[in-house]
């Protein structure tokens, strides 16, 4: 039986300690080739200007830039510490001309309708206070013909999948954060019901071993 969802406490996800620990953990995932860059490319996000909602320390979006040509990225995150880390990584990788990382909220994206060729997000859905509103806002800034990709953990992880993830956390801070994030995550059924309230109702919801993926194209 799936446990009741427990929303994540915002104070823990915004702390400087959490940002530094999460940065180290994401760096380890990048070094092992475990970021979702391949899934982004396979889903059709290969060109143009992209928005990454909840960009964190920036590794996913920056790796996407490295693996595409003539692309640009805007990373949006509510944590000033995360944004500062992402800007530093962009400079270290020589990508500061193609990447902008801004402090902001996914439920109120500071860009015009249809400003982006693609929109993606990883591991931030469970933090959204009003998911239906946020989905609608991200869809608003996506161009007609643009691609959408979102992934997150799932609350109904198998015991073996949960154990696999827990044993790969790099500190007690991120281990506690992982457990809180799983408790705050959604199931595929819950996400489908949320999407049915929005213009994203035609998007595909896929269960993976370690989470969920939502993907689709804005046709009109």
For range 77-105, the mean pLDDT? 97
Q: Which domain holds residue 173?
A: 10-217
Query: How confident is the prediction for the chain on average, in pLDDT?
Result: 94
Is 3 within a domain? no
Per-residue pLDDT tens digits for 94-144: 999 999 999 999 999 999 999 999 999 999 999 999 999 999 999 999 999
Residue 114 backbone phi and psi in degrees, to 5: 65, 30
Three-state SS string across the chain, please? CCCCCCCCCHHHHCCHHHHHHHHHHHHHHHHCCCCCHHHHHHCCCCCCEEEEECCCCCHHHHHHHHCCCCCEEEEEECCHHHHHHHHHHHHHCCCCCCEEEEECCHHHCCCCCCCEEEEEEECCHHHCCCHHHHHHHHHHCEEEEEEEEEEECECCCCHHHHHHHHCCCCCHHHHHHHHHHHHHCECHHHHHHHHCCCCCCCCEEEECCCCEEEEEECCC
For range 46-65, the mean pLDDT? 98
How many domains does the chain divide into? 1
Is 4 within a domain? no
> Taking the complete model, does pTM exceed 0.85, yes or no?
yes
Confidence band for 2, pLDDT divided at 50, 70 and 90: confident
Is 110 within a domain? yes
Is 82 within a domain? yes
**Gap between the Cα atoms of 44 and 47, Å rounded:** 8
The answer to whether residues 214 and 207 touch, using CB atoms and an 8 Å cutoff, is: no
pLDDT at 139: 97
Greater model confidence, 98 or 1: 98
For strands 99-103 and 116-122, give the pairing. unpaired
Q: What percent of the chain has a predicted confidence (pLDDT) above 90?
A: 90
Domain containing 110 — which CATH number? 3.40.50.150
Is 5 within a domain? no
Confidence band for 191, pLDDT divided at 50, 70 and 90: very high
pLDDT at 8: 85
Is 32 within a domain? yes
Q: Is the pLDDT of residue 17 over 90?
A: no
Per-residue pLDDT tens digits for 144-175: 999 999 999 999 999 999 999 999 888 998 99
pLDDT at 18: 86
Q: Is the pLDDT of residue 201 over 60?
A: yes
Is 71 within a domain? yes
Cα angle for residues 99, 46, 110 (degrees, 5° grid):
45
Q: Is the pLDDT of residue 11 over 60?
A: no
Confidence band for 16, pLDDT divided at 50, 70 and 90: confident
């Amino acid at each position: 039986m799936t446990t009741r969802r427990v929303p994540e406490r915002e104070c823990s996800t915004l702390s400087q300690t959490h940002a530094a620990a999460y940065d180290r953990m994401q760096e380890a995932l990048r070094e092992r080739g475990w970021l979702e860059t391949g899934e982004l490319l396979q889903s059709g996000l290969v060109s143009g200007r992209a928005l990454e909602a909840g960009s964190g320390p920036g590794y996913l979006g920056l790796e996407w830039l490295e693996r595409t040509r003539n692309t640009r990225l805007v990373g949006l995150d509510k944590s000033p510490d995360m944004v500062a880390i992402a800007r530093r990584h962009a400079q270290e990788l020589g990508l500061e001309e193609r990447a902008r990382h801004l402090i902001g909220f996914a439920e109120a994206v500071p860009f015009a309708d249809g400003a982006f060729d693609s929109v993606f997000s990883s591991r931030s859905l469970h933090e959204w206070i009003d998911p239906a509103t946020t989905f609608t806002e991200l869809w608003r800034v996506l161009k007609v013909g643009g691609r959408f990709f979102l992934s997150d953990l799932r609350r109904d992880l198998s015991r073996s999948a949960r154990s696999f993830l827990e044993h790969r956390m790099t500190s007690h801070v991120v281990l506690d954060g992982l457990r809180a994030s799983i408790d705050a995550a959604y199931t595929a059924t819950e996400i489908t019901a949320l999407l049915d309230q929005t213009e994203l109702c035609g998007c595909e919801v896929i269960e993976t071993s370690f989470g969920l993926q939502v993907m689709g194209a804005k046709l009109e």
